[in-house]
Structure 1
Amino acid sequence: MKFRQISAAERTATMFPLQAYAFVPSPWPAGDAEANSERMKFFESTVSLVAEEEGQTLAAVAAFRMRQNVRGRLHDMAGVASVSSHPSARRRGLVRELLNRLLRQMRDEGCAVSALYPFRAGFYARFGFVGIPRYRTAAFAPEGLGHLLRAELPGEVSWLPMSEGFDAWDGLQRRHLLTHRHGFAVFDDVRAAEFRDDKYWVAVARSGGEVVGAVRYRIKSYGGDLVADHLLCANPLGRALLLQFFARHVDQVSRVVVKVSTDEVPELWGTDIEVITEGKVDRPSHGGPMVRVLDMEALDGTAVGPGAITVEIPDDELAGGVWRLESADGALKVSKGTAAPSARVSVGGFSALLYGVLDPVEVVTRGLGEVPPEAVATLGAMFPREMPYLVADF
């Protein structure tokens, strides 16, 4: 068995057949391979690993180079994707070996954290990943926002094809949301460039010349659904401008379906609005995202609450060890621990605390660690609950 990193140009002949068989309807049209080959310029910065035997690719994994906000601190992030294997080579440990190699390499190249969308969460939990919230969808008739048609808002919305609105849409994410939203992540410029030519409309909300909101969308049919991507807003005015834009589609579409974060409350968008807000997680097509820490010392400077504690993270090649965690004026200081640890948590358990999705008691009840009562208060104060919002889909 041979394990190696391949170039973007090699992906079409090595990874594409496995990915296509795993994730898209098949058999696929003959032109798909050619179209995929043309896309490879957008994968030049992607780290792609394959397992080969007698010249045949049997398994593959990849990582996109990304940036993510974790409690206010920006980190290089490995977005794991393209995990696939030949049907006859499954359950041979090839994906496990490739993932271990990939995570190790991405950590060595400076990635402090990693994220992915699982086909089965239990499989990736063995690699130290822990779940975070999946976005919600809100579905409503545009007449439910009729009150906004009478509102005079200090701003305007531009309706553009994605090729023209990309810079505003992408810029809002990089300049504002990435720096302000816990859990928010963006691709590097190489990978993100492919979205410029997506066959989407994009509505861009501006106030005082500043982009305060953006949403890309498609209209499925006259009298059908307007299906939107994430409702990206810098502030409440940006949200109001975009919702007002949706309201203007009354008598054209029957429903608006838009992705929203877990802290949005669509039922409060209007007095008489009828809305279905749904969060769907199933296997294998709608997995909730998962995250993990790759480098503990890179977490220096993370915004945390008061406290100091020594914890042990056992049995993890990348983040394992005994660590002293201290809050200095609200900023985390991480160093190698020398005293006996006050708590023992898995890398998944610590990642859940860091990302704010579980409190220390839940770490224990989920079987992710041993946290004595006297350590619960300290860890809870240092890592208060804070729901991350991961928009990027990869």
Structure 2
Amino acid sequence: MEFRQISAAERTATMFPLQTYAFSPSPWSPADEEAYRGRMRFFETTVNLIAEESGQTLAGVAALRMRENVRGLVHDMAGVASVSTHPSARRRGLVRELMQRLLRQMREEGCAVSALYPFRPSFYAKFGFVGIPRHRIATFAPEGLAHLVRAELPGEVERLPMSEAFEDYDEVIQHQLARRHGFAVFDEVRAAELRDMKSWVAVARSGGEVVGAVRYVIEAHGGDLVAQDLHCTGPLGRALLLQFFARHVDQVARVSVRLSTDDVPELWGVDFEVTVEGRVDNPTDNAPMVRVLDMEALSGSQAGPGEVTVEIAGDELIGGVWQLSSSGGVLGVEKGGTPSATLSAAGFSALLYGVLDPVEVFTRGLGEFSPEAIPTLTEMFPRQMPYLFADF
């Protein structure tokens, strides 16, 4: 068995058959393969690892180079994707070996955190990943926002194809990255594929500044307007985009839009009827998972006051004893000390990302704490639901 890194040009011959069989309708056609080959220029910075035996590719994994905001600090992030194995080679530990190699390499190359969308969460939990919230989808009739059509808002919305709206759209994305906990974006090479997407973009502006943007398609006359994430710099941007949706009354029956867990569409209007769904289902609709790859890189993150020493046990990448302290709202991380808490990598990642408090970490079997450590860790890492926008 040989494990090696391959270039983007090699993905079509090696990883494409595995990925397509695992995640797409099959058998695939020569046109499917050619279309995949044409996309490889957007994967030039992706790290691809495969396992080969007698010249046949049996398994592959990849890491997309990304950036993510974690408690106010933007880190290089490894977006794990393309994890697939030939049916005859499954249950042989090939993906386990590739994942360990991939995470180790990405940490060495400067990635402090990692994220993925799992086919089965329990499998990735073995690698130190922990679940975070999945996006919600709000579905409503456009006439429910009729009050916004009459509102005089200080701004306007322009409808553009993605090829023309890319810079404006990216401006809003970068604004979100700097301000939203959990928000993640692709590097410039991978993000460039978005220009070719067949979709509209509604760009909201006020005073010459971009204050919101949303990507969408209309499926049919009298059908659905299907929007992706509603990106806004503030309430005005959201109001302008919702007003734009409202103007599609008598053209579409429903509007659906993706939202983070802290959005409350039931408050968008009076007598406003809306369905908000967050579906989680194996293996196609799982919530994302995250983990920390580098403890010392977390210095400078936002944190509540306190000081505590924790031991992270059983993890190759972040294992050891770490002294965590916060002064003036800024986290410091140093090696050494006498621990008052023992955590798994997933347990600490859950605290950092704000999805579990210390008691929940304990009840999930992800850590053990002395009584005095619980209130300190609760104050240092208050609950704060991350919004992982990037869907890869």
Give the TM-score normalised by the residue count of structure 2: 0.99
User: What does residue 117 of structure 1 align with?
Assistant: 117
CA distance in 1, matches of 2:111, 2:13: 28
CA distance in 2, matches of 1:390, 1:314: 27
1:69-122 superposed Cα distances (whole Å, 9 cap, x missing partner): 000001000000000000000000000000000000000000000000000000
**1:261-280 equivalent positions in 2, closer than 5 A:** 261-280=260-279
- 1:140, 1:375 → 2: CA distance? 45
Q: Partner of 2:134 in structure 1?
A: 134
For residues 210-239 of structure 1, the C-alpha deviation after alignment (integer angstroms, 9 at most, x for no partner) is: 111100001000000000000111100000
Which aligned segments of 4 or more residues in structure 1 are displaced greater than 6 angstroms?
Answer: none
- Give the letter for the 1:177 counterpart: Q
**Which position in structure 2 is the counterpart of 1:39?**
39
Does 1:24 pair with 2:16? no
Task: Tell me the equivalent position of 2:190.
Answer: 191
1:148 has 2:118 as partner: no
Aligned runs of 1:149-298 on 2, under 5 Å?
149-174=149-174, 176-298=175-297
Structure 1 residue 374, shift from structure 2 partner: 1.3
1:177-219 C-alpha deviation (Å, 9 max, x unpaired): 0000000000000000000110000100011111111000010
Give CA deviations for 1:366-385 in whole Å, capped at 9, x if unaligned: 11000122110000000000
- CA distance in 1 between counterparts of 2:363 and 2:370 reads 12
**Equivalent AA in structure 1 for residue 256 of structure 2:** V
Match of 1:68 in 2: 68
Cα separation, 2, equivalents of 1:246 and 1:29: 38
Aligned partner of 1:366 in structure 2 is 364
Residues 332-352 of structure 1: per-residue CA shift (max 9 Å, x gap): 110111x32000010100000
Q: Which residue does the alignment assign to 2:103?
A: 103
Aligned partners of 2:59 and 2:157: how far apart in 1? 46
Pick from 348, 351, 354 the counterpart of residue 352 of structure 2: 354
1:3 correspondence with 2:3: yes
How far is the alpha carbon of 1:30 from its aligned partner? Answer: 1.9
Q: Distance in 2 between matches of 1:342 and 1:319?
A: 17
1-structure distance, mates of 2:231, 2:323: 37
Tell me the SS of whatever aligns to 1:335.
strand
Unaligned runs of 5+ in 1: none
AA matched with 2:376? T
| Corresponding residue of 1:52 | 52
SS at match of 2:215: strand
Q: Distance in 2 between matches of 1:268 and 1:167?
A: 31
Matched, 1:388 2:383: no
One-letter amino acid matched to 1:146: A
- Which AA in structure 2 matches 1:329? G
Instruction: Please give the secondary structure, in 1, of the residue aligned with 2:378.
Output: helix
SS at match of 1:341: coil
Shift of 1:46: 0.2
Q: CA deviation at 1:29?
A: 2.1
Work out the CA distance in 1 between the residues paired with 2:316 and 2:98: 15
Amino acid across the alignment from 2:183 = F
CA distance in 1 between partners of 2:328 and 2:152 (Å): 43
Match of 1:345 in 2: 343
Q: Percent identity?
A: 73
- Structure 1: distance between partners of 2:388 and 2:199: 21
Aligned partner letter, 1:345: L
Higher mean alpha-carbon deviation, 370-379 vs 41-50, is at 370-379
Q: How many residues align?
A: 392
Provide the C-alpha distance between the structure 2 equivalents of 1:80 and 1:363, rounded to a whole number of angstroms: 24
Write out aligned runs for 1:321-332 (5 A).
321-332=320-331
Q: Distance in 2 between matches of 1:356 and 1:131?
A: 11
In structure 1, the partner of 2:15 is 15
1:329 shift after superposition: 1.6
One-letter code aligned to 1:369: G
**Matches of 2:115 and 2:258, distance apart in 1:** 19
Aligned with 2:39: secondary structure? helix
| 1:313 alignment counterpart | 312
The one-letter code sitting in structure 2 at the alignment partner of 1:29 is: S
